[in-house]
Amino acid sequence: MNRNLTQNSHIKTKQLKINVAVLGLGKMGNTHVKAAKASPFIDKIIGYEPTAELALERGREMKIETVSNLDLILNDQSIKLFYIAAVNEAHAELAVSALNAGKAVMCEKPMGITMEEAKRIVEAQKTNDSFLQIGFELRYSKLYMKVKEWIDAGLIGKPLNSYCQYYTYASHKKDTWRAKSKGTLIGEKLSHYLDLPRWWFGREVTQTYSMSAPNFIHYFNHPDNHQISYKFADGAVSSLNFVMGIAITDFQEKLAEDGHLLTYFIYGDKGAIATDLFRKTIKRWSFSEDEKQLKSKVAEEITFDITNEWVHNVHDQNMRIAELVAKNQKPDHSALDAFETMKLCFAAEISTRENRVVKLNEI
């Protein structure tokens, strides 16, 4: 009996394995390939680059099979899941093609570089009733999951305000697609940090106002700084202050020194939370009130190491998505939820260009 159970379990595990394709084999694509290789739910990995020579080169480097003909993998019924890590301008076309071909899709943000592209992706998901999850990996990162845990447990009461400061170095080099991107850093980079308060608060964003000062990084085809404020339906507010270019490049050595900053401060009516990535702390306060005034005290403090697991957990996100697809389960985070974050990003871009408050129901 035990032998049969073991054999049946082995057969079941084998049946759960799927083949996947990774579209776009740059730095992020390599991250996806590594996660796919580590997954017990993935059997075969096929990489895709539209240029034959580059596809062969990346295949040798990553030790995977690669193709330069997209139709080959779209028509391959053995491939169940597409990881899309191509340049931003290709996200919509690749995602829609994959969804229409019956594939499950994990697509890096941004969800298209225009509102129309994001709508096309959502419509393709709905039409095909397909698995689609957008790469907001901070939702899988321990630092930000802890904030969500504390808020959901009611430890700061009703969230009222969130403020993020993000100062970093000029990571987009000259003559690269990122520096020349038609989109802005709002969708490409800051969508993560606009998405987190949406996820933490669990409420609808109704309006935003965004400003950018003139660039000091002259070769960027987009603003190198943003100040974005947005309001939730219940009156709560959130803000993001971002500048790229102040800090030195070697931030892993300097950590919190020389211009780097990535912090959140979130307060509610019963307490507050502060996260500080480069000082490697997360802290929670509780509020109380006596006959004279409001008081606060530190209720909990956690220190951590700066690892991908804590900060940018693409690996576990992708492992989880492979498991969900192999088991024929739904995404952890819906396409419509991701679309709401992207709608906020597009509204912020409009606000910056037109210098006005933009209501999300306008778009």
**Lowest mean pLDDT across 59-63, 92-96, 127-131, 216-220:** 216-220
Provide the pLDDT for residue 253. 58
**Which pLDDT band holds residue 231 (cuts at 50, 70, 90)?**
very high
Hey, how many other C-beta atoms are within 10 angstroms of the C-beta on 139?
A: 19
The per-residue pLDDT for 183 is: 73
Question: What is the phi/psi pair of residue 281, to 5°?
Answer: -135, 150
- The predicted pLDDT at position 258 comes to 65
Give percent of the chain above pLDDT 70.
93
User: In this predicted model, which residue has the larger pLDDT, 171 or 301?
Assistant: 301
Phi/psi at 216 (nearest 5 deg)? -110, -10
Higher pLDDT, 227 or 5: 227
**pLDDT score for 65:** 98
Residue 29 CA: distances (Å) to CA of 24, 46, 107: 5, 11, 11
Per 3-state DSSP, the chain is made up of helix, strand and coil in percentages (nearest 5) of 40, 25, 35
User: Which domains occur in the chain, in start order?
Assistant: 2-136 (3.40.50.720), 138-311+329-362 (3.30.360.10)
Q: What is the pLDDT of residue 176?
A: 84
The pLDDT tens digits of the residues spanning 70-111 come to 999 999 999 999 999 999 999 999 999 999 999 999 999 999
Give me the pLDDT at residue 8, please. 44
pLDDT digits 0-9 by tens, 162-206: 999 999 888 788 888 778 877 789 998 999 999 999 999 999 999
pLDDT tens readout for residues 347-362: 999 999 999 999 999 9
Grade residue 10 by pLDDT with cuts at 50, 70 and 90: very low
pLDDT of 251 > 70? The answer is no
Looking at residue 255, its pLDDT comes to 57
The model's confidence at residue 2, banded by pLDDT at 50, 70 and 90, is: very low
**Statement: residue 236 has pLDDT above 60:** yes
3: alpha, beta or left, given left = phi > 0 and alpha = psi -120 to 50? alpha
Q: Give the pLDDT confidence score for residue 301 in this predicted structure.
A: 98
Which sign, positive or negative, has the C-alpha torsion 134, 93, 323, 337? positive
